[in-house]
Structure formats: structure tokens, C-alpha cells
Structure 1
């Protein structure tokens, strides 16, 4: 590893660094003022790791601390920490402070559980009421006096909306369904109510029956009775 050539243009130096392992030269671009460095191997752009060619140039320029832009968060102890938000869902940028707050909150819960456990075993009702009063006063000192909420206010807080006084939609009038409409008849009832088949007049016997001259039971008459005979028979039956 060594510098085979150096070219300076303004505040930018171009170092031709020889890599003995690969037996080839890599050009490193180095800014004297900002310590910005770029190498032709593109290792930092691909994997986020500063290559040995840039480190060789930094060592020659007496840069013994890696510049901050080249220390990515993925290589630090902050890479595994999740995003922390406060009560209003704002992202807390200072994660260390959030961790301290979380640790202190754990201690507070430990003290509360330990106190409640002791009171459940040894304390009387008087001490329990005193602890309730102390906790209530402490909460009110932080958030202010808490007024009791009505049922509608609790529902509004739960749904996140406010009830409107202007009601445009009203419930429909109650329908009177008792005794309205007709009951659907069954097929059996329909068959009973079905009128009889209309009779037809037979051409052989000249009677109003449900058959014709071809299906008539009487022998075929060469001279079937006339309509007048039929009327006379009907008159006799009426008498």
C-alpha cells in the first residue's frame, strides 16, 4: 500500500494509491478543507465502510479521527433502538434522554407496586385512603384539577368527535305493521279455492259436461237431440 502519484487542483487532492493485494491503483479524491473523500473502489457507497485506500490518505494527512459523515448510524449502538415518541406522538430525537425517562418510570412503577403490596398486607383502611389522597393531589399538581366528566363527554373523548347540536336526520315514524297486509296462502288452500273447470257442451248428448262427443259414454246418436229438446228437458227439471 502506498501513494504512487498526487495531483492537486484547488483544495482537492487526487491520490493514486497502489493496492498490493489487488495489484492495482485506486484514485482517492480528498478535500483539504472538509475532509470529504471519495475512492474509485466505491466501498463506502456500497457497504457504508471506509476503505483502506481512504484510510491511507487520512493517515498521510494526519486525520486520526473518522469524520462524522463517515460514521453511519448502522454501525453505532443507536441502530437497534426504536423510534421513541412522547404523549402527543412527537418523535423524540434525543434517544438517550428517552431511555433515562423510561428507566426512571420503571423505578416509579416498582415503588408503587411495592407500596401497594405492603399496604395490602399490613396497612389499614385509613392508610389506604391517605395514599389515594396523596396520589390524587400529586396528579392534580401536574395536570391541574380534574373535573368529573359526563357520560356524553366520555363518549366524545372515546370517539374523538364532538356531538353537533344541529340534527338533520331524524328517526323514521314507527310503522304500524299489526294486521296490515295479507297472509300468504298455502298451495293446499289455493287448490281448495280454485274454481271448477268450466263445463262444455257435448255434441252427442247435448249436455253441459266435461267431455265431448268423442269421449261421451252414450252411444253415438245418428240424430243427436236438438237444442230445443235440451231446453224442454231443462224446463221439465225446473218444474
Structure 2
């Protein structure tokens, strides 16, 4: 790809761990938290399986992104000692490998709050499976792949249109919120808006002091927790102890309180966070600012015409939503326009289709095919032994059937009914004892 990724997430595959350390020397390796926390129930002693307090304290310790590594280690040791897990081999090994999976050790890594599991790659797999088939040849694969990209681009154009033409609802009288609505996309603005509301309603100042060229603020939030915000006068920069901007690229409520206290009306450029910004072509929908958003020269007229076409379509669709007659009329107009632009769309014969594929591929179909797709192999992990919990979940997910001998609906039939009934009796006698 030309450069190594900044972060790679895998399950607890020791072979992958060694390979990443040897080959991707500058890449941060992280283990999937879902895979690890899913195993907790299997590794707990039977005496602790129903202990909800243990699960609550362990989750609070492990999943928290607002604690430093030292705080995590102290909290972990307290939980292990309190519930007698200090000598548990699995929990000990997980603590030894804590730098690979615990969020406290990724607080300074960009987007660490969004990327904790392998769910992103899994969602991409599901997305492309909607468009592709496992037995596709190379030409079909390229066609399917392009269709998938067209689907993503179409959705992106729809979201950009909404950003261009939708006026967000403001919840405070803060000028910062008004400016944020002009620079952030819809999803980004909703997150930013909640932080601004928090700054207005719940954040209060505890102390303020000056150390050299830095102003040090101690602020209290709705959870009665104190956070330290540092403002560098010389660099005009902000840093908060919660590190939300470093983790997510979003300004936290604590920094917003400082900005309001300084009577600022615009979010400083260094606090924008590139991931959440609108397209550079968007114009502000709330007016009243001296600083205009930069205008960019469109270098590709065809692409701009394509974008305008999408904008026109979504504008019309929004206006006629709910009016059946207008929707049918608009669809008729589109059908007529399609015939006029693309032709009547006559159905191609088999020979014409073959000729079209050969022209696209650049060679004729051979009379004898010597190269065939490889045999399907079992995927990684399919041969592993299932855990007790996975076996029980799989059994419970199977539909029940009626036994012809006892008449009960369950997971057995008349052939093994006697054994099932005997096991039930033994279990009942044990419970009574």
C-alpha cells in the first residue's frame, strides 16, 4: 500500500503478534476487546459466575477511557484481590498483556475511542458480500466491486446534500454552537452540540492559576469529577486531561467552557478535527460571522455537474415526499429521460453479451478452460473446539421439536427420550439433596 498502517487490530493470535512486531515495526498493535471480554464468563470460577457486582466493577475498570494506566492497574488489582482472582492464570496473563488491549493505554492514540474491536473490518466484509459472489470470475468481481463503490459514493452524496441544505436545530444561545453548525457534518455536530450543552449547564470552575505562559483551569463536571485544562498563551493551544480531542478529534465540554469564558465566537482552527468537518464546498447556513468559510475552485467540471445532479434529485425527492401523484409523475419523467439519454434499452442476445464481455476483458473466451477456481478451504478458526458456552448457545438457538414418546417440545426425539428423562430425574434428585 506504500505505507504501513498506524494501527492494526487482531484477535489474540500469537503468530500475528510476532509478525506485526517484526514487519510493521512502527505500527501500533491492538487486540480486539470484544474477543477478550467475551471469554470472561468462561474463565471465571463457578462461584463467581452470578456475581453482578464483579462484572460491573470489572467492566468499569477495563472499558474506561478516562483513567490513566496507573489508575487502571490500581483498580484492576483491587478487583482481583476483592474477588479472589489474584492467582487466576487467565486474568494474570491478561494483565501482563494489558498494553495490547486496555483503553487506558491508548488514550493518546487518535480515534482510539472508535477503533477497539475488529467490527469495522467485519462490517466491510458484510458490505461487500451484498454485492459479490464467492465464485465470481475476475471480470465479474471488478463489476461487483465497482457497484459497491458506486453505492458508497451515492450514500456519501446524499449525506453531503443533507449537509448542504439542512439547518441544524440550535439548543443554546452560544455563538460557538452556531459556528460549529457551519463547519461540522451532521453526525459530528450532534456530538459537539452535546458537549456544548454540557459546558453551558453542568461544567463549573474550581480554581484558575497561571504557571509561566500557561493558564491552568480546574473544572468540575456533572459527575463531580475534576479535570485540568491547560491553555498556552504563547501557542494559543488547549489541552484537557480527559484527552477527548486526542482520542476522537472532538472538543470536550471542559475546553468549550474555557472558550465561552474567553468570549470567543468561533471554534479555533486547531480544534476543528478533520474527520468530522463538512465538505469544503458547503456554505454556512447560520449567518452572522466575519470569517467566511474558504471557497475552493472546482477543477473538474464533470464531477461538479455530477454532484449538482445528485443535489437536484434529493432536493426534488425531499419536496415531493408523501405526495403519491407527484412521486409517480416524477418517476415517469425519469423513465422517459432514461430512454432518451441511454436509448430504448433493448435486451441483448447471448452472443451480444459474450461480445460485450470479451471487449471489456480484451480477449476471447477460450474454447477449453484449463484454469479453474481453487477448491474452497475451511476458514481460519472453523476447526477449533467450541467452548461450553458456545455449545449451549448453539443448542438453544436450534428450533425445538415434539418428541413422539413423551410429547414434550425440546431438543430430543423418541430415540434418545429415555436418556433425557433419566438425566432430568438425576438432576432433580441432586437439587432435592
Query: Normalized against structure 2, the TM-score is what?
Result: 0.20
Greater share of helix: 2
TM-score by structure 1 length? Answer: 0.34
More strand by share: 1
Higher relative contact order (CA 8 A, sep 6+): 2
